[in-house]
Amino acid sequence: MTSYAGIFDLPVDMFDDLMSGLDYESLLSFRQTCRSAATLVPLARMVEIRQALRVRLVAEEHAEYQRRQLAYTNQRRWASVFPQTVQAAPPPQSPGIAGTNAPMNSLNNIHRNRIMRAERLNCYACLKCLPRECFVKGQVTGRRSLGHGEAGRRFCKACGVKKGIWDKGSVIKDGRRTWVVCRWCNSLRRVEAGSKEAGICSACLSMDQERSLDTEQQAAASADHQPSSSQLPVQHPAFTLPGSRATRCLRCWAINHTEVPVQSTGSHLCQSCKAAVGSS
């Protein structure tokens, strides 16, 4: 009978050769599959790989920042010597008006030579290079912009929510927009001015308002269909048959224990005994 050897049956050196070709995310996903995978890929090795990846990303970002600074310096020198090469086109003048072209500030037009802002930045929480749209404005400007002092603390929106960097109910400013980590759906969404303190997004707030309105309508409908006290039928109290002689007919107690007195008339005799006593 043919036997099949799985990946966990391979020799350790061959397994290490296979794992060496995987990146950090793939190796992390493989380690989370089962206990055997976690044993073959120890946590110390994952920490070592993560640190090495972080160092490489920091070095790449620093190199990109230095390249941009050098390009900006060279372009600034070029613009000061040959301003006409980087000047914007002069505005059209009305015909018949003689005049010279107004001097243009050539240093403000360096962006025409493709020295632009970084469109992809590193997230040092998930260790990925992501588009600029994946970050809030506070994570890509100021001291956390490309190559600056706190760039190593930059994190994306997804890591801010999933990794618990932002607490639930936190209000996040993103330029002119305002986001909130919703307490109910645990996602980063738009928030209205009235629900900032509650820490609830606009979608969950509207759903809660609709639910409250439906509850009020159902309560009002049930109140309309409920009959008034004057329309309710009069219910007389039901008499039980307790096992006490004091509540039995005093005349036929020894004959029939099931007879009870007529309590509506206040008598201690049953109907038949009352009729017999009355006839005699």
More confident residue, 135 or 206: 135
Q: What is the pLDDT of residue 237?
A: 47
Q: What is the pLDDT of residue 88?
A: 52
Is the pLDDT confidence value at 126 over 60?
A: yes
Ranges 28-42, 84-98, 182-196, 221-235: which has the least confidence? 84-98
How is residue 248 written in tokens?
A: 């039995």
The answer for residues whose C-beta is within 8 angstroms of residue 72's C-beta and 6 or more apart is 110, 115
Query: What is the residue whose two structure tokens read 């008006």?
Result: 97
Q: What is the pLDDT of residues 4-38, one digit of tens each?
A: 667 887 888 888 888 888 888 889 899 999 898 88
Measured distance CA(93)–CA(273) in Å, rounded: 127
Q: What is the pLDDT of residue 167?
A: 93
Q: What angle do CA 156, 161, 163 make, to 5 degrees?
A: 90
Is the pLDDT confidence value at 125 over 90?
A: yes
* pTM for this model (two decimals): 0.61
Q: What is the pLDDT of residue 202?
A: 85
Q: What is the pLDDT of residues 171-216, one digit of tens each?
A: 999 988 999 999 999 999 988 777 788 888 888 888 888 888 878 7
Q: What is the pLDDT of residue 3?
A: 59
Mean pLDDT of 139-143: 93
Q: What is the pLDDT of residues 41-84, one digit of tens each?
A: 889 999 999 999 999 999 999 999 999 889 888 888 877 777 66
Helix (H) or strand (E) holding 17: helix 12-19
Band of residue 129 on the pLDDT scale cut at 50, 70, 90: very high
Q: How many CA atoms lie within 13 Å of 172's alpha carbon, on the beta-carbon side?
A: 24
Domain chopping of the chain, boundaries: 63-78+117-162, 166-213
Measured distance CA(78)–CA(76) in Å, rounded: 5
